[in-house]
Every structure is written in C-alpha cells, then in structure tokens.
C-alpha cells in the first residue's frame, strides 16, 4: 500500500511516499530556518505563508522522486495536530482536498505518534511493548507504546520542552538559532564538570519533567560570571546539556524498568543530540535495555513518519471525514 504523507505542523513543509508503513520511497522537506533565524524562533504567520508557497512543489517532488503517479497512491495521511494551527491548516486542508478529488481514503495523524513510529522506518525496529522518550522543541514526554496507534502517556513536561530550553540557552549565550545543534557542537568543546547546574528531576519515581528552572539557573550564572572567553561559553553549554541529558536518560530508563520493557526508543528533534544518544546507549547497556534511535533525517519533523502511521490506521479502516479539523494541543 502506497501512502502519501504530508506534514506542516511547524516550520517544515514535508511530503513523503511510504510503502507498507516501512519503506521510504521519497521524503522531501522544505526548511524555513533561514526565514525564522533573524527572529530567534518560529514566527507562526510567516510559517503559514511559507507552507502555502511550498506545499504544491514539495508534494510534486515527493511523487517524482518516488517515481509514483498520483493515481497510484492508495491513501493520504496528514498531520492533524498538535502544532501551530495556521501551519497545520495548510497541509491538512491540502491533504483533505487532494484525497477528496481522487476519491481516496485519508486520515489525520497525531504528530507525536508520527515521531514514535519513526523508529519503524529503520531496519531493526523495537518489538511491542516498549517505552519511548519523545523530546523536541515543542514536546518532552515518555510513552508506553503498545502498538503503532495505541500509546500510553507516562509523563510530560510541566512547562518548557527540552528543545525549547536548548533554543533559549543558546540565545542567552549569544550563539543563535536554532539552538539544538549549536549547543550540541559548542558543548563538545567544553567541560561539563566546570559549570554544574542542578538536575531538575522533580519526583524521581515519576516521569514528569520541568526545564524552566534550569533556564533560570543558566541565566543567573551568565549574569554573575564572566563569559569573556569562548572556552567559558563552551563549559556553560556543556554543563547545561549534561544536566538536561542526565534527567532525560534517567527517566527513560526508569520507565523501562517500571514497565518491564527491554526495549526503549528516543525520538523527536532532540534525539539528534550526540550526548543524549551516547548517554542513553551507555547506561542502557548495563541495564539490559536495547535502545532504538532513528537516523538523523528522521529525528526532526518529516512526512515519512506521518505516512507510516497513516498506513496502520487505513489498514484498520480508520479514516477522517471532511468535517475533521486541526488541533493545537496534544490529545491522548
């Protein structure tokens, strides 16, 4: 079954053709980083306008790259939420109209389920059930994954997402946007022991997160310390990153133990962080837990993961109607 996936939840316009929920025939992403970079973050109105400009060329390129004619597509899947409403409406409305015009089934997809299913686009996916850490600029949560479409929320951030904290700390240090890769690279040059920040574990027996406090901690340190040298900035970046990674790693592996899972996954944009990947892999090895992390190109927002989930919904006969609408906040 060939599924056309469409993703426009934030600042990437993406389309992909995926076969049988596992084989990527094409995955095209039009990034807006250059548009939002001067503002230090995503500007929703600009994002929506860029999606309108990019959606047709991106879908056309996805079909051409896959060498698939539009009438060969068996179904359409599009991100329904959560995300920026204006951005979501572009891809969701386009998918709805396209499917209607072709008389093909279509389904709206939860963006978070898309990220979780990104590990099934890899050659060695985890068996069910497993636990997954979804960590990105807009979300930080741990799930017990029972099937492709059935997930149980175990805990989530009470305030800021980890990825947002990376962006804000990068801005505080004068390093620019987007902060994830910038902090990752700068931290590699620093010593996390020289500048130590408090680990925001909250209740170590539970799975909720909080990253607003560590942002405040970094800000206070910057106000009182001298950051005249690049080395000192690198040490702050390394200390901040280590504190966040320690909490993420601990909570994921604690969830695996509590749910008696021998497999765990890290998904979302922050899953591209080198220190997070290495830390979890190192600690999991001593606990008998196998860790699954998608390739870097599947960590960020993409349409292949949306098509993958769409395949499983459509196989179950689950479709969306013309009256379906987008949503900005997470749904179960």
* Tens digits of residue pLDDT in 128-171: 999 999 999 899 999 999 999 999 999 999 999 999 999 999 99
Average pLDDT in the chain: 95
Instruction: Please check whether residues 279 and 308 belong to one and the same domain.
Output: no
Taking residues 195-220, report their average pLDDT. 93
Instruction: Please check whether residues 89 and 185 belong to one and the same domain.
Output: no
Q: Are 116 and 134 in contact (CB under 8 A)?
A: yes
Query: Taking 80 as the threshold, does the pLDDT of residue 12 lie above it?
Result: yes
Percent of the chain with pLDDT over 70: 99
Instruction: Please check whether residues 110 and 164 belong to one and the same domain.
Output: no
Is residue 324 situated within a structural domain?
no
Query: Taking 70 as the threshold, does the pLDDT of residue 76 lie above it?
Result: yes
Is residue 332 situated within a structural domain?
no
Euclidean distance between CA atoms 32 and 12, whole angstroms: 6
Is residue 238 situated within a structural domain?
yes
Taking residues 86-96, report their average pLDDT. 98
Instruction: Please check whether residues 308 and 268 belong to one and the same domain.
Output: no
DSSP letter at 120 equals G
Confidence (pLDDT) at 226: 75
Taking residues 105-116, report their average pLDDT. 97
Instruction: Find the DSSP H helices in the chain.
Output: 33-36, 44-66, 85-102, 111-117, 162-172, 179-187, 212-224, 230-258, 274-285, 296-299, 304-315
Taking residues 236-249, report their average pLDDT. 97
Could you tell me how many residues make up the chain? 332
Confidence (pLDDT) at 101: 96
Is residue 234 situated within a structural domain?
yes
Euclidean distance between CA atoms 202 and 205, whole angstroms: 9
Residue 58 sits in a domain of what CATH number? 3.30.420.40
Q: What is the CA radius of gyration of the chain?
A: 20
Confidence (pLDDT) at 329: 85
Instruction: Please check whether residues 236 and 288 belong to one and the same domain.
Output: yes
Is residue 288 situated within a structural domain?
yes
Query: Taking 70 as the threshold, does the pLDDT of residue 283 lie above it?
Result: yes
What pLDDT band is residue 263 in, cutting at 50, 70 and 90?
A: very high
Q: Are 268 and 139 in contact (CB under 8 A)?
A: yes
Instruction: Please check whether residues 280 and 154 belong to one and the same domain.
Output: yes
Q: What is the pLDDT of residues 171-191, one digit of tens each?
A: 999 999 889 999 999 999 999
Taking residues 297-326, report their average pLDDT. 97
Which domain range does residue 109 map to?
2-116+300-315
Taking residues 303-332, report their average pLDDT. 93
Instruction: Please check whether residues 130 and 195 belong to one and the same domain.
Output: yes
Instruction: Please check whether residues 204 and 288 belong to one and the same domain.
Output: yes
Confidence (pLDDT) at 227: 77
Instruction: Give the chain's domain count.
Output: 2
In this prediction the pTM is 0.94
Is residue 329 situated within a structural domain?
no
Instruction: Please check whether residues 30 and 142 belong to one and the same domain.
Output: no
What pLDDT band is residue 202 in, cutting at 50, 70 and 90?
A: confident
Query: Taking 80 as the threshold, does the pLDDT of residue 79 lie above it?
Result: yes
Is residue 327 situated within a structural domain?
no
Instruction: Please check whether residues 106 and 133 belong to one and the same domain.
Output: no
What pLDDT band is residue 228 in, cutting at 50, 70 and 90?
A: low
Taking residues 295-320, report their average pLDDT. 97
Instruction: Please check whether residues 229 and 256 belong to one and the same domain.
Output: yes
């Amino acid at each position: 079954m060939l599924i056309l996936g469409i993703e426009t939840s934030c600042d990437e316009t993406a389309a992909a053709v995926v076969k049988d929920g596992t084989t990527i025939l094409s995955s095209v992403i039009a990034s807006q980083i250059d548009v939002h970079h001067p503002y230090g973050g995503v500007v929703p109105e600009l994002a929506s306008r860029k999606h309108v400009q990019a959606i047709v060329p991106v879908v056309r390129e996805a079909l051409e790259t896959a060498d698939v004619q539009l009438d060969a597509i068996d179904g359409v899947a599009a991100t329904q939420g959560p995300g920026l409403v204006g951005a979501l409406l572009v891809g969701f409305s386009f998918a709805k109209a396209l499917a209607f015009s072709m008389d093909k089934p279509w389904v709206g997809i939860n963006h978070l389920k898309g990220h979780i299913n990104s590990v099934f686009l890899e050659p060695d996916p985890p068996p069910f059930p497993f636990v997954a850490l979804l960590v990105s600029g807009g979300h930080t949560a741990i799930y017990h994954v029972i099937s492709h479409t059935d997930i149980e929320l175990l805990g989530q951030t009470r305030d800021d997402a980890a990825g947002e904290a990376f962006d804000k700390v990068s801005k505080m240090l004068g390093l620019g946007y987007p902060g994830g890769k910038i902090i990752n690279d700068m931290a590699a040059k620093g010593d996390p022991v020289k500048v130590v920040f408090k680990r925001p574990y909250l209740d170590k027996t539970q799975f909720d997160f909080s990253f607003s406090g560590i942002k405040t901690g970094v800000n206070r340190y910057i106000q009182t310390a001298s950051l005249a040298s690049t080395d000192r900035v690198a040490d702050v970046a390394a200390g901040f990153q280590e504190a966040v990674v320690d909490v993420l790693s601990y909570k994921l592996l604690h969830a695996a133990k509590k749910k008696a899972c021998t497999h765990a996954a890290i998904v979302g944009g922050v899953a591209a962080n080198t220190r997070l990947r290495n830390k979890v892999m190192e600690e999991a090895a001593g606990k008998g837990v196998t860790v699954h992390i998608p390739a870097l190109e599947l960590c960020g927002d993409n349409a292949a993961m949306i098509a993958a989930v769409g395949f499983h919904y459509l196989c179950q006969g689950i479709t969306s109607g013309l009256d379906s609408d987008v949503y900005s906040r997470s749904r179960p």
